[in-house]
Structure 1
Amino acid sequence: MKSLPDRKINFHSLYEIVDAPIRWHLLRTALNMEVFGRLETPLSAADLSRALGSHAGNTEVLLKGLTAMGLLRKNGDTYVNTELARLCLCPQSETYLGGMLKSLSVMRTQGMENLEQIVLNGPPAQESGPDLENQSLWKEATSYLGAYQRAGVGQEAVEIARSLPEWPGFNKMLDLGGGAGMIGLYLVLAHPKMKGVLFDLPKVCENALPLIREYDSDMRMQVLAGDYNEDQLGEGYDLVWASLNLYYAKKDLNHVMAKIHQAMNPGGVFISYHEGLHQGRVSPAFHVLGRIAPAFRAQDFSFDQGEIADSMLKAGFARVHSKTIETVNGPIDLDIARKKGGNNGF
């Protein structure tokens, strides 16, 4: 006769794994139906159903699910956006992230429906990428990046840069591969005199410039179009900022790092804001899982912890200080490199 197992297992985390797709399906449906845009003021499920032309009962089920997720508040018979939904999920918000989230979901799950076959047989044949000549695609991507950068990332960059002892003396900065250019603009406008340059691909710069000018009437931020693997980056920079974009330099990171070093003034500071995988590339979970779909396609470009710092030293930077910080993008390795000269004491 067998004895009953004498153990108590906490397997609640397994339920959470099963529930994760449910949460996304609820959010995606609400985004597609523009639910949050209609709930800036309280509405009953019946009123919302009439406005949407949707099934009354299932509209209420959707609203209850969104409330359970913390995206709506229920008061009596009415529902209204929480602060997070108001700021990030309403299309009229400057920090609307709905489009970016839908795009990110596609990238993060591409091919996962055939995962068993991919594990058995190896990476699938490469699919054709997006049409890089499609102007509307570039405009949409830049718009998504702009909202994301305005939703806290730009302010986070200012907090980091302001903590540097060199901050008051900066005159010119480079936002390297900065997409919509909002991070560089936040840095420039937080400083009394510093001017800035956004360096990115030509079609990115073309779409970023109108966004920048909405906030930069004094034209303190300029754009310089190019490919940092091939082209010069300009010169005379006291501060260089690069966040979550140096993957395109992975084929020869040391070459790009040397160009960054060359473009900077003596005593200049280069801040790299990227993930750093460690423990055999199984941590942090946020970054490992967020990029596991491309890893199955042999496109795992995430950085190892210390990889960027090592490249900075090889490029000639005199000193590198590294630390891991908690951010809106999960755990991030902040590598701060200083070029010899100036008044930095080395």
Structure 2
Amino acid sequence: MQKNLADMAGIIRNGPPEVPQTQDWQSESRWERAVAHLAIGQRAGTAAIYADLVEKLPGFKGIKKILDLGGGPGLVGAEILGRLPGAKGVLLYLPAIISLAEQEINKQGLADRISFIAGDYNEIGFGSGYELIWASHNLYFVKDRVAFFRRVREALADNGLFVCLHEGLTREKTAPASIVLMRLSSALEKEGRGLCFEKGEIASYLKQAGFNRVDTRMIELPAGESELVVAR
């Protein structure tokens, strides 16, 4: 996250640097490394914080099936399931990450309650009948956002909820400072410049995709302010 900062002036003058293939945003080896680090943060408390947010939603106790969409190591979905006795979960992520996620899920003792869909979320089916679909800080690579959220809506059960958590940047993407600075190194790369959402942006796509009600609010997290979006 800091690798480009030492040459920031040169990058501004000369343009974005060439990125080695192993560090390209489309490289699964890059995501394997990233998800291994992400698992540490989720175990250290992030998963519990996110699950607390979901647990406060109306109708939480009635949820029987959830989809952790682009869920990395799967620990957020596992934490949510741990609060829903008898519920089942599905984790959808890139094939290279699934084996790592399986290890994490086994450690949580939830191997019999969580299944996996391996693939690119732009291309693969989500399944159906979910009372809850959760996505956190992982929707930057959606290619056709309105069409994607239509697919999300179709995968939900009647009265199901789509819940996502992403930064909501303001002031022409210069605030909150904590989030902007955290993403600055990546933003200096050509492919990393779109790795953020403005406040209200996801909500606008959801409305265009046909969701009847979309609620948003800003919440304070250890890494800075983020926008919680709940759609039904």
Q: Does 1:321 align with 2:215?
A: yes
Equivalent residue of 1:165, what SS?
coil
| 2:5 counterpart of 1:129 | no
- Residue in 1 that maps onto 2:174: 282
C-alpha distance 306-171 of structure 1, shift in aligned 2 (>3 A) = same
Q: CA deviation at 1:126?
A: 4.0
Which residue is 1:174 aligned to?
67
Structure 1: which 5+ runs fail to align? 1-107, 339-346
**1:291 Cα offset (Å):** 1.1
Listed as ranges, the gaps of 5+ residues in structure 2 are: none
Is 1:325–1:333's contact at 8 Å kept on the other side of the alignment? Answer: yes
Q: Confirm or deny that 1:191 pairs with 2:62.
A: no
1:149 Cα deviation after fit: 1.0
> Deviations 1:52-83 (Å, cap 9, x if unpaired)?
xxxxxxxxxxxxxxxxxxxxxxxxxxxxxxxx
CA drift at 1:192: 2.2
Q: Give the aligned partner of residue 263 of structure 1.
A: 155
Query: What is aligned with 1:309?
Result: 203
TM-score normalised over the length of structure 1: 0.62
Any idea what SS the aligned residue of 1:230 has? coil
Check 1:147–1:285 CA distance in 2 against 1; reply closer, same or farther (3 A cut): same
Distance 1:133 1:331, change over 3 A: closer
Say whether the 8 Å CA contact 1:152–1:328 is kept in structure 2: no
Counterpart check, 1:291 vs 2:149: no
Count of residues in correspondence between the two structures: 228
Say which SS state the counterpart of residue 152 (structure 2) adopts: helix
Distance 1:325 1:253 in 2: 24
- TM-score norm. by structure 2 comes to 0.91
Could you list the per-position Cα deviations for residues 10-38 of structure 1 after superposition, in whole angstroms to 9, with x for gaps in the alignment?
xxxxxxxxxxxxxxxxxxxxxxxxxxxxx
RMSD: 1.9
Matches within 5 A, 1:213-252: 213-217=106-110, 219-249=112-142, 251-252=143-144
Identity %: 36
Q: 1:151/1:119 Cα in 2 relative to 1: closer, same or farther (>3 Å)?
A: same
Out of 97, 114, 119, the residue aligned to residue 7 of structure 2 is 114
Q: Which of 35, 57, 70 is matched with 1:164 structurally? A: 57
- The higher-RCO structure (CA 8 Å, 6+ apart) is 2
